[in-house]
Amino acid sequence: MTVLARFDHVTRRFGKVLAVDDVSLTIESGTILGLLGPNAAGKTTLISLLEGLRRPSSGTVELFGGSPGDYRNRQQLGSTPQETALPVTLRVGEVIDFVSKHFENPLSKAAVAEEFGLGELLKRQTGALSGGQKRRLSVALAFVGRPKLVLLDEPTTGLDVDARRTLWEALRRQHERGATVVVTSHYLEEIEALAQRVIVMGKGRILADDTLPAILSQVGLRQVRLAATSDDADRIGQLPGVVRQEKSDEGTTTYYVQNSDEMIVLLVRAGIDFSNLTVRGATLEEAFLTLTDPSHERSHDHKREVVR
């Protein structure tokens, strides 16, 4: 495994906003790295620092051993715009040609078209493409130069399920051919489908950096809400698997648990009186709170270990 990129105590401010807060991180070859976090967590800023689009306010960013701001260090980098931003008047084939002219050893237009299902569209102006087609072309552009490191910022946001799966398959094939991929997303599902290593970000900091299963056990939470007496509510909070609890003004309590089925079985066996039970999946934002909540021991330790 070789080191492709490195962040060393990197901080980036926009005016008073702290977008990236003292991040240290190493990206090695061979993995698909998922960068997971809610909007405004700093994922896109982190990517743009690696692309050389922005400079850190402090700390250093290294790409292939040099500065990402130097275009020569970007010869083996593949990236794609966050929004579908193709020049509307250019044809699909022209866009691929334009980008491939920048690289020493690009894929052929035919190979790119076949891999990403663009064969029929090469003569179309990009303005005439559907949302999914535009997204496929944008992602394809990241692979045109046979890059060693590919950065994909929200590659499937706004796509339907079929289009998303098609794109994921293409990404996995490219990864098997040797590309290291960094993919940002605020969908847990997407990270689950692609990533081997996962970094969870919130408010510009790294909250967790671990293997996919380890992260899933922390953020793949269910939300169980019920009404119980105050004493009982606290007893329920002591049940195994409950990560966090929140009392509301209406007398209900919300519990975040790793396995809601197990928790309810325990609840019933314990003979605790409750009413108005609802269960739903916790959103990532809610799950992330368990990683940032200082009262939550495990995440606290984890955070300290990562940030050091």
Partner 1 sequence: MSTFALTLVHAKYTLIETARIPVALIGSLVFPALALLFFVVPQRSVADSPEFATQAVISLAVFAIMSNSLFSFGLNIAENREKPWDPYLRTLPAPGIARVFAQVFSTGALGVAAIIPVIVIGALFTAAEASAFAVVLGLVALAIGALPFMLIGICIGYALSAKAAIAVVQVVMFALAFAGGLFLPPVLFADWLNTLSKFLPSRQAREFVIWAVTGGNLEPWVWIGIIAWITVTLFLALFLFRRDEGHRFR
Q: How far is the CB of 40 from partner 1 (least distance, A)?
A: 14
Phi, psi of 130 (to 5 degrees): -75, 170
Q: Which of 214, 186, 203 is nearest to 34 (CA)?
A: 186
Contacts to partner 1 from residues 138-157, by CB under 8 A = 141, 145
Asked if 221 contacts 204 with a C-beta cutoff of 8 angstroms, the reply is no
Q: Is 204 in the site for partner 1 (CB under 8 A)?
A: no
Tell me which stretch binds partner 1 (CB under 8 A): 94-102, 167-175, 268-276, 292-300: 94-102
Residue type, 2: T
Asked if 39 contacts 187 with a C-beta cutoff of 8 angstroms, the reply is no
- The per-residue b/e assignment along 149-166, b for 16 or more CB within 10 angstroms, e otherwise, is bbbbbbbbbebeeebbeb
Q: How far is the CB of 75 from partner 1 (least distance, A)?
A: 5
Q: How far is the CB of 145 from partner 1 (least distance, A)?
A: 8
Q: Is 77 in the site for partner 1 (CB under 8 A)?
A: yes
Q: Tell which one of 103, 203, 245, 277 touches partner 1 (CB under 8 A).
A: 103
Q: Is 52 in the site for partner 1 (CB under 8 A)?
A: yes
Q: How far is the CB of 167 from partner 1 (least distance, A)?
A: 18
Q: How far is the CB of 17 from partner 1 (least distance, A)?
A: 11
Tell me which stretch binds partner 1 (CB under 8 A): 68-76, 129-137, 156-164, 207-215: 68-76
CA 63 – CA 4 distance, rounded (Å): 6
Q: Tell which one of 79, 180, 223, 290 touches partner 1 (CB under 8 A).
A: 79
Contacts to partner 1 from residues 13-42, by CB under 8 A = 15
Residue type, 241: G
Order of strands, edge to edge, in the sheet holding 3-14?
17-28, 3-14, 58-63
Place of tokens 């009404």: 227
Q: How far is the CB of 132 from partner 1 (least distance, A)?
A: 18
CA 152 – CA 116 distance, rounded (Å): 15
Tell me which stretch binds partner 1 (CB under 8 A): 47-55, 107-115, 182-190, 290-298: 47-55
Cα angle, residue 163 at apex, residues 158 and 166 outer, rounded to 5°? 135
Tell me which stretch binds partner 1 (CB under 8 A): 27-35, 102-110, 207-215, 252-260: 102-110
Q: How far is the CB of 108 from partner 1 (least distance, A)?
A: 16
Q: Tell which one of 21, 22, 28, 51 touches partner 1 (CB under 8 A).
A: 51
Give whichever of 81 and 281 is closer to partner 1, judged by the CB atom: 81
Q: Is 49 in the site for partner 1 (CB under 8 A)?
A: no
Q: Tell which one of 57, 71, 169, 285 touches partner 1 (CB under 8 A).
A: 71
CA 196 – CA 199 distance, rounded (Å): 10
Q: Is 54 in the site for partner 1 (CB under 8 A)?
A: yes
- For 201-238, the DSSP string reads EETTEEEEEEEHHHHHHHH--EEEEEE--HHHHHHHHT
